[in-house]
Structure 1
Amino acid sequence: MTKTAWVFPGQGSQAIGMGVDLLDLPEAKAKFEQAEQILGWSVPEICQSQEDKLSRTLYTQPSLYVVESILADRMQARGHQPNLVAGHSLGEYVALYVAGVFDFEAGLRLVKRRAEFMDSASDGMMAALIGFDREQLEQQIQQTPDVVLANDNNSAQVVISGTPEAVEAVLSQVKVKRVVRLNVSGAFHSPLMAEAAAEFQAVLESVPFNSAQVPVLSNVEPVPCVDADILKERLIRQMTGSVRWREISLQLPVQGISQVVEIGPGKVLTGLIKRTCPDLTLENVGSVAELPNSE
């Protein structure tokens, strides 16, 4: 039998108009209304905002969580179930929701607070590097204070995070094919997020977690786990820790996974996984039209 992993994208995959086609589904409409009561604003309105409010962390993270959760709900309603789940940064919250670690409301309340803490973080920058010498990059990061490898996406694409001076210092010393300075408010997934992470930890610890119904591969520790306490402890470390997506990708075939479904807007994770594990069957579900038929 084919073993399937569901993966959920994070910030950077959002797109204006995402999730609007879900409004025709009564179950989805109810979720959007529930989300509006929790957030105090409408996800569909933000997703259609022409001023691109959607690209602001405060709105991006809850909107992705809501849209991806609804798509996953629709998949499960049609009889589809994952054997393993993982999510990239914010996407890990959707993975935990799908695995039954917390319910939709508890997850959204966490994501709302996470987005608020991260949106108010400043004094940092992030840059994506495409095509580089890994050894040279790692050496340079070790020699430069206040910069870390934030996202290890695959062998050819990483993101570094730190103070603007430290990030620019690394970029000036490393030969890179292409650099993209990311439009974010702070140095996410780095020690510079320690203050926000400490405040968020208090919020996280107050939320009861259940054991996962399917194994979860966490960003900071890509080892399958169903234990509620371990999954919470990993999530606490996530805001300051690296997103080890390359290692998550490598774990998929090790766990007997042959098919991966990326649930959410865009095809970022599919592209990253394809480079690391070219033999896996990859699918995308980003809209109602892409939902598979009932099992």
Structure 2
Amino acid sequence: MTKIAWVFPGQGSQTQGMGLSLNETVIGKQKFAQAQEILGWSVLEVCEAGDERLSQTIYTQPCLYTVECILVDLQKQEGKQPDLVAGHSLGEYVALYAAGVYDFAQGLQLVKRRAELMSTAQGGKMVALMKFDRDILEGAIASNPDVVIANDNSEGQVVISGKPEAIDQVLEQVQAKKAVELNVSGAFHSPFMASAATEFVQVLDTITFNDATTPIMSNVDPIPSTSAPEIKQRLIAQMTGGVRWREIMLNFPHHGITDVVEVGPGKVLTGLIKRTNKELNLTNISG
């Protein structure tokens, strides 16, 4: 029996021109207009220009959320429904929308505030590592309280986050074949985002979560859940906790998933899944 998971990419998947064709649909027009009212600026304009704004957290996250939510609506308009949803970092907010946890406007308000808090975070550093010895990496991090694995994307790709000097110490020990510093202002998905997380809770407390209509595998806990209180707690933990994407991918077959659809720009998630679960059927929907 076919069981489908919808997955939603996060920051880093944005591309110039993403979502422009969606403005030709009734749903797209309505959502873009609604987003402009909430944000005070045009998602379409930023996506079309493709200038430095599209790479700035404060713009990137609302743009991705809006475009991916429109794609969700268009899929549902065609009668399509997933059996499971998951999103990578920012993409988790779209997963919650797809599962009926909150409406589009409530989700965008959360994303807007999240982006503001993350864009003003200071003093941290994030580095992506490829081709490394995982045992050595985990040992180095275990002995250094100022570094964590922020994104466990696959067996051979992780992002570490923490204090700059501590990151440099870990890099010396691990000697990864490739290490790329990310263009971010803070140590996202780490305990160093605690103050931002505290502020974010104030916004979360104003929004009532519904039980999910579709089970959600969250970044901080890959066990599927439909419980509104549990989903909200997991979302709070996401800002300071790591993205356990490798475990999410590995768990798909255990939940009977046969097909995975990446809903959003790019093919980052399906690329990771293809290298991890070769037996899954993969599809991309970006426009």
Query: What range describes the TM-score normalised by the shorter chain of this pair?
Result: over 0.9
Q: What residue number does 2:98 align with?
A: 98
Partner of 2:51: 51
Maintained 8 Å contact 1:5/1:257: yes
> Which residue in 1 is equivalent to 2:169?
169
**Equivalent position amino acid for 1:6 in 2:** W
2:217 aligned with 1:217, yes or no? Answer: yes
Residue 255 of structure 1: aligned partner: 255
In structure 2, the partner of 1:284 is: 284
CA contact (8 A) 2:130 2:157 kept: yes
Partners of 1:21 and 1:76 in 2: CA distance: 18
* Residue pair 1:3, 1:83 contacting (<8 A) in 2 also: yes
| 2:152 counterpart of 1:152 | yes
Report if aligned partners of 1:16, 1:52 keep a CA contact under 8 Å in 2: no
User: Following superposition, which runs of at least 4 residues in structure 1 exceed 3 angstroms of deviation?
Assistant: none
Deviates more, 1:48-57 or 1:181-190: 48-57
Amino acid at match of 1:14: Q
Give the deviation of 1:201 after TM superposition. Answer: 1.0
CA deviations 1:132-158 (Å, max 9, x no partner) are 100000001112231101000110000
Q: Residues of 1 paired with 2:51 and 2:90: CA distance?
A: 23
1:274 Cα offset (Å)? 1.4
Matches within 5 A, 1:183-194: 183-194=183-194
CA deviations over 1:56-91 (Å, ceiling 9, x no partner): 000010000000000111011011100000000000
> Within the alignment, does 1:116 sit opposite 2:85 as a pair?
no
Q: Which residue of 2 aligns with 1:14?
A: 14
3-state SS of 1:189 partner: coil
SS of the residue corresponding to residue 217 of structure 1 reads: coil
Q: CA RMSD in A?
A: 0.8
- Pair 1:40–1:237, CA change in 2 (3 A): same
1:217 maps to a residue whose letter is M
> Identity of counterpart residues, as a percentage?
61
Query: Which residue identity lines up with residue 42 of structure 2 in the other structure?
Result: S
User: 1:5 corresponds to which residue?
Assistant: 5
Which segments of 5 or more consecutive residues in structure 1 lack a partner in the other structure?
288-295
State yes or no: 1:42 paired with 2:24. no
Q: Which residue of the partner structure matches residue 139 of structure 2?
A: 139
Deviation at 1:51, TM superposition (A): 2.5
| Contact 2:125–2:163 (8 Å) recurs in 1 | yes
Residues 261 and 282, structure 1, Cα contact 8 Å, conserved in 2? yes
SS of the aligned residue for 1:132 comes to coil
Deviates more, 1:50-59 or 1:9-18: 50-59
Q: Give the alignment's TM-score, normalised by structure 1.
A: 0.96
In the TM superposition, residue 175 of structure 1 has moved relative to its aligned partner by 2.1
- Displacement of 1:52 after TM fit? 2.3
| Distance in 2 separating the partners of 1:27 and 1:143 | 51
Q: Secondary structure in 2 aligned to 1:206?
A: coil
1:76 alignment partner in structure 2:
76
